[in-house]
Amino acid sequence: MKKALVIGASGGMGYALVKELVKRKFEVVAFARREEKLKELFQHLDSVKIVSGDARNIEMIIEAAAQVDIIFHALNLPYHQWENDLITITENIVQAAEQTQAKLAVVDNIYAYGSSSGRPIMEDKPKMPTTKKGRLRMEMGKVVDQAKIPAFICHFPDFYGPNADNTYMHFTLEQLLTKKRAGYIGRKEIPREFLYTYDGAQIMVDLALDVYAYGQSWNVPAIKPITGKTLEGLVKTLLGEEKRFYFITGKMFQFLGLFAGRDIREASELQYINEEATILCGDKLKKFLPKATWTSYEQGLTETIEHMKSLRQQ
C-alpha cells in the first residue's frame, strides 16, 4: 500500500485529496493544526492517520512525512499570514520531502501569472505578478523548482466543493441558504472559472502517480468558464427562483473591505482577476491525461449545497 502525507488536510482541497487518496487505497497522513477538525472529517476512515501540528515547525513535518511516498502541499494560509509564513512553510515541506526522499505535489493558485489581459493563460506565460501576494507565490514556486526531489506544481482557479469554506463560492452559497440575496464577487458578464475540488484532487493524484508529470507545472482549468449571470440562473434552479445575486465589483469590494475582516481587505489587490476573463488553458493537461473528467456545475453545486445543508442539521 502506498502512503501519502496531505498537509492542510482540513481545508477544501486538502479534504478532497484525502478522500481521493483513500479511494485509491493509499494510507494517508492527514496533517493540519486543529485536531478537533481533523477528527470531525477523518476519524471514521481507518486508512487515515490524524496528525495535528504546525507546518512552521520543520521537525513536525519531518516526523509526519516518515515513510511516505508522496507529500501533497495543500495548506491554504489566511492572506494576512502569507508574508511571514508562506515561504518558510514551503521551505519546511521541501526540506522534509528531501530528507524522507518523498515526491512532492503542490497546490497553487494563479496569482503569480499576473494579469491575463483576457487571454487564456498557458504554463509558459512569463510570471509577471503585479501584487504582493503574486510575488510571494512566484517565490514559493521558485522554492519548489529548486527542490532536490521530484516535484510538480498545479495551478488552480477558484475552488468550490464540500468543506471548501474559505472560497468566494462558499461566501455566496452560505448567504443563499438563509437569505434571498447574496453577494457574488465580480461582474455578472465576465467569464470566470470555478473548479470542483473533487475534480482537482482526482487530477492531481493522477499526475502524482505518473513519473513524467514531475519537474513541471500544470494548469488545471474548470470544466468551462461561466459568467456570474449564468451561475445565478443555476442557483435559481437549485434553490428557488426567488434567489438573487448582487454583484460586487472592484470599487464596491474595496468599500466593503473598510468594514469587513482583515482577509477581505487583503484580497482587494487581487480583484483584477474578477474584473477580466481570467481563464487557464488546459491543453497541456488534457493531452497528458486524455481520460480526465470534470463534474458539471449543476452536479458540483448540488453536492456542495447538500453538504452545507447537512452541516446545518448537525
Residue 259, pLDDT > 70, answer no
Round to whole Å and give the CA distance between 300 and 161: 7
Q: Which residues are 247's β-sheet partners?
A: 184
C-alpha distances in Å from residue 6, one per residue of 2, 49, 165, 248, 266: 13, 10, 18, 34, 26
**For the segment 6-18, what is each residue's pLDDT rounded down to a tens digit?**
999 999 999 999 9
Residue 209, Cβ density class (10 Å: 0-12 exposed, 13-18 middle, ≥19 buried): middle
**For the segment 183-224, what is each residue's pLDDT rounded down to a tens digit?**
888 888 999 999 999 999 999 999 999 999 999 999 999 999
Q: Which residues are 49's β-sheet partners?
A: 29
Ramachandran angles phi, psi of 51, nearest 5°:
-135, 115
Question: Whats the size of the chain, residue-wise?
Answer: 314
- pTM of structure: 0.94
Question: What residue segments make up the domains of the chain, in order of their start?
Answer: 3-159+195-224+280-295, 168-189+226-275
CATH topology of domain 3-159+195-224+280-295: Rossmann fold (3.40.50)
Among residues 6, 8, 314, 309, the alpha carbon closest in space to that of 162 is found at 309
Residue 256, pLDDT > 80, answer no
